[in-house]
Chain A
Amino acid sequence: MTASLASPAVSGGAKTRINDFSIQVATVNGSGSQTANTVLLRAIFQMGVFVSGKNLFPSNIAGLPTWFTIRASAQGYVARKAANEMLILMNPETAKDDIVKADAGALVIYDEPLQLDKLRPDLAYFPVPFQKLVTASCPEPKLHKLVKNMIYVGVAARILGVDMVEVKKAIAKQLKGKAKAVELNQNAAVAGYDWAMENLPDQDHIRVVRDSKTQGLIIVDGNEACALGALFAGVTVVGWYPITPASSLVETFIEYAEEYRKDPQTGKSTVAIVQMEDELASAGVVLAAGWAGARSMTSTAGPGISLMSEFIGLGYYTECPGVFFNVQRTGPSTGLPTRTQQSDIEMCAKASHGDTLHINLYPGNMEECFQFSYDAFDLAERFQTPIFVVTDLDLGMQNWASRPFAYPDKPHDRGKVLDQKQLAEIQDWGRYKDVDGDGLCYRSLPGTPGGKGAYFTRGSGHNAYALYSEKPEDYVAVVDRLRKKYETAKSYVPKPVFRPLGSDRGMLAFGSSDPAVLEAQDLLAEQGLKTDYLRLRALPFTAEVDAFVKGMKVVYVVEQNRDGQMANLLREFYPEHATKFKNVLHYDGLALDAQTIVDQITAFEQK
């Protein structure tokens, strides 16, 4: 036994970190470790402690290294934390490197034969004879690989003080319905726990203590939350093409639609879902379905939006509704397809050729993923235009604790659509006539009987009556009205969230950066630098953003891309304040952490 807690480098008088630590688990992908990691995360969550999980996985099906980090935080900080207090090293290929990179004092659970304990003296080692335990707890050799992971869950539970009742419950939840698998995995976890109880010493470094912070909360990922938003929004046509990290949004939707979108009498489907041949085709389906009156959507990532761009221009200019989810990943090109980034901000703001400006929504948490997805369909129909719901891999595919979603009571807003009777009453209808002065025109749907309302939609120049026109004044009238729509949208899109500390130094961020920025705001305040934080939730920029930008001396724009894309948009829309915007950037594909922000802002302030 080499659990050397006596070593002065790791114990000393250091205070035990209660419900406040990060664990990193290194495994091989395709080995079933995802289940084990989720069980460990859930078990801690069930202990009433705030947790968040980040899966750092390769773009590969099996055999490459993968890391999973679990952060517990008594204060409720859920951003990634760069330093880890515990390592679980199951991958022989990366173990040595993981040790080299480990933070001093970390506890290391590892497979005994790897003999890692000689590598660094400043870590606390917990070697575990996994193979022996597996063989003893599981009679079936072909299941050994899967069960092995559950053993480290048991060992970790023992070291951290997680109640085995919660571990067992989490296993049952995770493997719902598969009684044999539940039993096998519970046995393995218990075997790990029991062995650790007998053979590993106590440690006073980190500890899970029962709390009540997570009572009533759910665990969900953003793609599921968005899928649920679309479900309740009553989406009726879905055209899509698989791409990480966006696929699971539609795939989860398909599962829910199976259950909740069948006509109770006939069993027939109230939603059409088609996996198209590519994203071009998906975009065409979305826009034409919207044109014909359906609530339509697609889900994709950056490369898909690139392909869709020609169609998006058509949708913007011909005024077809449609919801486009972009679950961003690390680009350009294939980039790091399983890593996160916010690097399609400028693209989605202006997707396509010609002058285009789109409404974008930036959910920053699970409830917003749900609510904004619901709202996006209302906006699409009210504004008759492509709407972008811009999330990212971190929101979309990671596990997040959240309050349960509130039922969206607001009825669907189907926008300005004229039916047969209304058409009959109108003398001089024009598809693109701005009757109300808000830029939003009245449309008719194909198939409307009565002999009125038919019109011709075209991507070429047209006038207020949807007739072909190359007249300069007709062209300008249409594109100026489209710009007016963008102005009108300012009073419809979600307003930013403001967290002021009474400062003239601003922080502006959006989407998945929120948890790290909130934590950074606290850390900076502790250092004596107060900031006011504005979390942007949509384009166009609303009056609240105007006021914030005007009121601040400096605005640190925190975002997850190389070029400061949101800052660029801000400089464009607020040219008189352009010099206020300072880029705080993070773009290595890992989720944003608070320290990165603190370091960059501190450096700016010291200049």
Chain B
Amino acid sequence: MSTATPSAPTNKLGMTKQDYVGSKSTLCAGCGHDSITGQIINAAFEMSIEGHRVAKYSGIGCSSKTPAYFLNQGWGFNGVHGRMPALATGASLANRTLVNIGISGDGDSMSIGTGQFVHAIRRNIPMIYIIEDNGVYGLTKGQFSATADKGSHLKNGAVNELPPIDPCTLAIELGCGFVARSFSGNPKQLNAILKAAFAYEGTAIIDVISPCVTFNNHDASTRSYKHVKDHDFPLHDLGFIQYSEVEDVEIPAGETEIVTFPDGSKVAIKAIHEGYDPTDRYIATKAIHESMQKGEFLTGLLYIHAKHAPLPELLNLVDEPLATLPQSAVKPGPEVLAAIMETLT
């Protein structure tokens, strides 16, 4: 299977990182989205995700093109603008054994697709839901998106007078059990968050600030590399320990908080920001609001509630994929039709 040199490191499946890549990116050089793609590849490789189980979904936008650039061993579905969650919903119900990765943009999720974002969270679709957030519509050449900060400028000088929608506080409000924010320029943090998201069973919302070098990287932008670097406040040092490695890893005592997922995997959260508790949604929400007022980006695992039944479980579906159930399991026999006809006479 492996196409790389024999010396390349392999994961538990015997795969090299090369086995997790996709087609060559066609985004602008330096686009934040490409860094996110890189971290998805790393996390999936390190987590030994089985490529054939992966289903990738996206809406429309530069961000939504990226599923073509990672995990070519998985199936991809680039759909219509703002409707990625409906695709993930349908396919995850058809086959509950899939590992679902949804990629969206701030335009895709916070304007045309806000309704689908909201309802995917409400139903707890089993998926990693990444918003590659650059504050603009990249693909349609730089219009404001609904996450643009009030007072921020477009390249052409236009000023945004409207308040932003914050996907993270919205997700927490909706009862999402996994809400994170990161920055495409902080690969280490993003890597840990992505791995934890792979271990999470329901909807894992990850808002990744991802600068658009072409339309929103100027001095007056609040989504430029420089501005975000200067205003990025990581909440904690995150360490992810997969269930299979829990035995081997020593978790330092002290301020480190441990969150354990149903499969046994753990995230070790070593606080940097004092008094922030990612398992308390009220404290988390308050802290996020305060930081936003100061123009800062709090990043890290903003809120985590490790066990939260995803939709296929709520619907009490059979364990095997519905898609491939044999006819005998889904087509009642002639005696059933006869009995029904009897009730209608």
Q: Tell me if B48 is interfacial: C-beta within 8 Å of chain A.
A: no
CB within 8 Å of A: which B239-274 residues: none
**Which residue on chain B has the smallest CB distance to residue A310?**
B80
**Which residue on chain B has the smallest CB distance to residue A322?**
B90
When A268-B319, A271-B322, A277-B115 are in contact, do A292 and B51 touch as well, CB less than 8 Å? no
Contacts of A363 in B (CB 8 A): none
Residue of B311, B312, B323 with highest tally of chain A CB at under 10 A? B323
Q: Tell me if B5 is interfacial: C-beta within 8 Å of chain A.
A: no
Residue of A217, A267, A284 with highest tally of chain B CB at under 10 A? A284
CB within 8 Å of B: which A273-330 residues: 273-274, 276-278, 280-296, 310-311, 314, 318
When A449-B52, A456-B67 are in contact, do A260 and B312 touch as well, CB less than 8 Å? no
Tier of interface size on chain A: 35 or more
A451 touches B73 (CB 8 A): yes
Contacts of A282 in B (CB 8 A): 86
Q: Tell me if A573 is interfacial: C-beta within 8 Å of chain B.
A: no
A270 touches B329 (CB 8 A): yes
Contacts of B336 in A (CB 8 A): 260
- How near does chain A come to B303, taking the closest CB pair, in angstroms? 23
A412 touches B323 (CB 8 A): no
**Distance between Cα atoms of A217 and B78 in the complex (Å):** 49
B315 touches A269 (CB 8 A): yes
Contacts of A455 in B (CB 8 A): 75-76
CB within 8 Å of B: which A57-115 residues: none
**Distance between Cα atoms of A101 and B225 in the complex (Å):** 77
A237 touches B93 (CB 8 A): yes
Tell me which of A457-465, A499-507, A519-527 binds B.
A457-465
A236 touches B86 (CB 8 A): no
Q: Tell me if A261 is interfacial: C-beta within 8 Å of chain B.
A: yes
Of B116, B311, B312, the residue contacting A277 (CB under 8 A) is B116
Of A234, A266, A286, A446, the residue contacting B331 (CB under 8 A) is A234
B318 touches A239 (CB 8 A): no
Contacts of A273 in B (CB 8 A): 315
A454 touches B90 (CB 8 A): no
A468 touches B68 (CB 8 A): yes
CB within 8 Å of A: which B76-93 residues: 76-80, 83, 85-91, 93
Shortest Cβ-Cβ A-B pairs, 7 listed? A284-B86, A293-B323, A234-B330, A288-B90, A294-B94, A292-B94, A285-B90
A289 touches B327 (CB 8 A): no
B331 touches A232 (CB 8 A): yes
Contacts of B29 in A (CB 8 A): none
Contacts of B98 in A (CB 8 A): 292, 446-447
Known: A292-B323, A445-B323. 14 other contacts (CB 8 A): A216-B345, A217-B345, A218-B341, A219-B344, A263-B329, A276-B89, A280-B116, A294-B95, A404-B341, A412-B331, A446-B75, A447-B323, A450-B52, A454-B74
Q: Tell me if B174 is interfacial: C-beta within 8 Å of chain A.
A: no
Contacts of A188 in B (CB 8 A): none
**Distance between Cα atoms of A290 and B87 in the complex (Å):** 10
Q: Tell me if B332 is interfacial: C-beta within 8 Å of chain A.
A: yes
Of B68, B72, B89, B97, the residue contacting A239 (CB under 8 A) is B89
In the complex, per-residue mask of B95-132: 1 if CB is within 8 Å of any chain A CB, else 0: 10110000000000000000110110001000000000
Interface of B: prevailing SS? helix
CB within 8 Å of B: which A208-264 residues: 216-220, 228, 231-237, 239, 256, 260-261, 263
Contacts of B50 in A (CB 8 A): 449
B315 touches A218 (CB 8 A): no
A288 touches B87 (CB 8 A): yes
Q: Tell me if A477 is interfacial: C-beta within 8 Å of chain B.
A: no
- How near does chain B come to A4, taking the closest CB pair, in angstroms? 40
A314 touches B311 (CB 8 A): no
Residue of B57, B97, B116 with highest tally of chain A CB at under 10 A? B116
Q: Tell me if B53 is interfacial: C-beta within 8 Å of chain A.
A: yes
Contacts of B115 in A (CB 8 A): 277-278, 281
Contacts of B325 in A (CB 8 A): 234, 236, 270
Contacts of B57 in A (CB 8 A): 288
Contacts of A12 in B (CB 8 A): none
Of B68, B90, B95, the residue contacting A456 (CB under 8 A) is B68
B68 touches A454 (CB 8 A): no
Of A216, A217, A274, A310, the residue contacting B89 (CB under 8 A) is A274
Contacts of B80 in A (CB 8 A): 284, 310-311, 314, 459
Contacts of A280 in B (CB 8 A): 83, 86, 116
**Which residue on chain B has the smallest CB distance to residue A46?**
B345
- How near does chain A come to B111, taking the closest CB pair, in angstroms? 14
Contacts of A216 in B (CB 8 A): 345
Contacts of A294 in B (CB 8 A): 90, 93-95, 322-323
B329 touches A454 (CB 8 A): no
Of B90, B311, B322, B323, the residue contacting A284 (CB under 8 A) is B90
A454 touches B51 (CB 8 A): yes
Contacts of A220 in B (CB 8 A): 344
**Distance between Cα atoms of A450 and B73 in the complex (Å):** 10
**Which residue on chain A has the smallest CB distance to residue B88?**
A288
Residue of B67, B79, B321, B325 with highest tally of chain A CB at under 10 A? B79
**Which residue on chain A has the smallest CB distance to residue B324?**
A293
Q: Tell me if B55 is interfacial: C-beta within 8 Å of chain A.
A: yes
- How near does chain A come to B80, taking the closest CB pair, in angstroms? 5
B1 touches A451 (CB 8 A): yes
Contacts of A263 in B (CB 8 A): 318, 329
When A228-B340, A281-B116, A445-B323 are in contact, do A457 and B89 touch as well, CB less than 8 Å? no
B341 touches A285 (CB 8 A): no
Q: Tell me if B156 is interfacial: C-beta within 8 Å of chain A.
A: no
A266 touches B318 (CB 8 A): yes
- How near does chain B come to A482, taking the closest CB pair, in angstroms? 18
Contacts of A293 in B (CB 8 A): 94-95, 321, 323-324
In the complex, per-residue mask of B18-36: 1 if CB is within 8 Å of any chain A CB, else 0: 0000000000000000000
**Distance between Cα atoms of A336 and B76 in the complex (Å):** 42
- How near does chain B come to A44, taking the closest CB pair, in angstroms? 15
When A285-B89, A457-B76 are in contact, do A269 and B341 touch as well, CB less than 8 Å? no
